[in-house]
Amino acid sequence: MNSDLVARYNYDEFTPEKFLPWMRFESSPQLGEKGPDFSLWELDGTETTLSECWSGYAYLIVEFGSFT
């Protein structure tokens, strides 16, 4: 694990200079486009994929990181 990367991600205050480097909305799929498929892990450690998650729904919102 890259400890410098973890330290930068776990910033101590929510200020633009600390969170803006992580915001890359221009790299995100546009509304209505399918997102890229990739592996995910359930809390019990079982592996799944994003496509398995979205297969049962018309819309799926996936949150990554800390938005609270």
- The answer to whether residue 9 sits within a structural domain is yes
Q: How many domains are there within the chain? A: 1
- The answer to whether residue 43 sits within a structural domain is yes
Question: Please, what's the largest Cα pairwise distance for the chain?
Answer: 39
- The answer to whether residue 11 sits within a structural domain is yes
Q: Report pLDDT for 1.
A: 67
Q: Report pLDDT for 27.
A: 83
Bridge partner list, 40:
48
- pTM here? 0.47
pLDDT tens for each residue of 14-68 = 888 888 887 888 888 888 887 789 998 888 999 999 889 888 888 888 777 655 5
- The answer to whether residue 59 sits within a structural domain is no
Distance CA 54, CA 51 (A): 5
- The answer to whether residue 65 sits within a structural domain is no
Domain, as residue range, for 35: 3-54
- The answer to whether residue 22 sits within a structural domain is yes
Distance CA 39, CA 47 (A): 7
Distance CA 13, CA 52 (A): 36
